[in-house]
Amino acid sequence: MQSNTPAYGSGSDSLDTSETANRSVRADWSAYATAYDLLSEHNPEYQAILHDFEAFLATIETPRIIYDIGGGTGNYTEIAARACPESEIRLAEPDAGMIGTARSKLAAHKNISYEALPLENIVGRGTADLVVCVHALYAMPAPEQRLEDMRRLLRPGGWLYLVDLGRHMNVADWRDYLFSQLKKKQGLAGALGVFWQGREIAKQNKAILKAQKNGVYWTHTEAQIASAATAAGFEIQRQEVVYRGYSDLLVCQAKP
């Protein structure tokens, strides 16, 4: 699964006893980071979103300030840094393992700064031209309020490129799909080798599913995330279901 997701914890600001117990039902993003890029390179659905983001950047005026929220290992930041070398790019990622991987991978790019903070703690209002948030919102506390935080960061008319996991993570379905893709390209032995190296991914995807079922991570329909984005002050310019039906992609502009 594409991650770019920080260790945000529960999906609610106020927790009762049972919800507090659920805080332990979530993915270990630092463990995820160790194998994340390996498997993502072989996932056509993940690569399709990367290509879509790169194509999107070519359609807008070059942003002056870009935030990559829950930027994980930095794959979207890397595309932005390459496509917009004059832009100031801020990768926000509170998980130490994820941001550590991103720092190492992106060291050659001098227009990137790093903020080891959750979205709600980022200081800034109305300065960003583009906010990117890919497969991170669902794992944040109070996701509807986090959409408002993204709106807070953007200038009026600024862009939000949002992709979010909305449906339950069917681990067996993804395993079968990825294995079939790998087998086509690398043969049986090659596919088994990649799966062995990336075995931590399967473990953490099971944790994501458990957190979804326990209500710790946000699940939503296409209509629900559209409603949440509109309520937060965004005008949706494009919306589609991606990632084999599991995720929603929204390209939005901040309303005045």
d(C-alpha 243, C-alpha 67), whole Å: 23
Q: Check residue 161 and report its DSSP letter.
A: E
- For residues 228 and 144, what is the distance between their CA atoms, to the nearest angstrom? 6
pLDDT tens, residue by residue, 26-43: 778 777 777 777 778 888
What is the spatial distance between Cα 9 and Cα 225, in angstroms, rounded to a whole number?
19
Which ranges in the chain belong to alpha helices (H)?
A: 17-22, 29-40, 44-57, 75-83, 96-105, 143-153, 171-197, 199-213, 222-231
Query: What mean pLDDT comes out for the span 96-107?
Result: 94
Provide the mean pLDDT of the chain. Answer: 87
Domains held by the chain: number = 1
Q: Does residue 3 lie in a domain region?
A: no
What tokens appear for 14 in the block? Answer: 């106020």
pLDDT of residue 27: 77
Between residues 223 and 1, which one has the greater pLDDT? 223
Residues 151/162, Cβ–Cβ less than 8 Å: no
In a domain, 144, yes or no: yes
Residue 7 is assigned to a structural domain of this protein: no
216 phi/psi in degrees, rounded to 5? -80, -40
- Whether 235 shows a pLDDT value over 90: the answer reads yes
Domain span at 199: 17-254
For strand 128-134 and strand 154-165, is the pairing parallel, antiparallel, or unpaired?
A: parallel
Whole-model pTM over 0.75: yes
At residue 110, does pLDDT exceed 50? yes
- At 1 the pLDDT is 31
pLDDT by residue (tens digit) across 192-213?
Answer: 887 777 777 778 888 899 999 9
Provide the 8-state DSSP code for 245.
Answer: T
Question: Considering the domain boundaries, does residue 9 fall inside one?
Answer: no
pLDDT at 20 over 60: no
Tell whether the model's pLDDT for residue 10 goes beyond 90.
Answer: no
- Is residue 164 one of the residues assigned to a domain? yes
Determine, yes or no, domain membership for 5.
Answer: no
Residue 53 lies in a domain: yes
Read off the pLDDT of residues 48-70 as tens digits, 9 standing for 90 and up.
999 999 999 999 999 999 999 99
The CATH number of whichever domain residue 40 belongs to comes to 3.40.50.150
Render pLDDT for 133-184 as a digit per residue (tens, 0 to 9): 999 999 999 999 999 999 999 999 999 999 999 999 998 998 898 888 888 8
Burial of 160 (0-12, 13-18, 19+ CB in 10 A): buried
Whether residue 10 is contained in a domain is answered as no
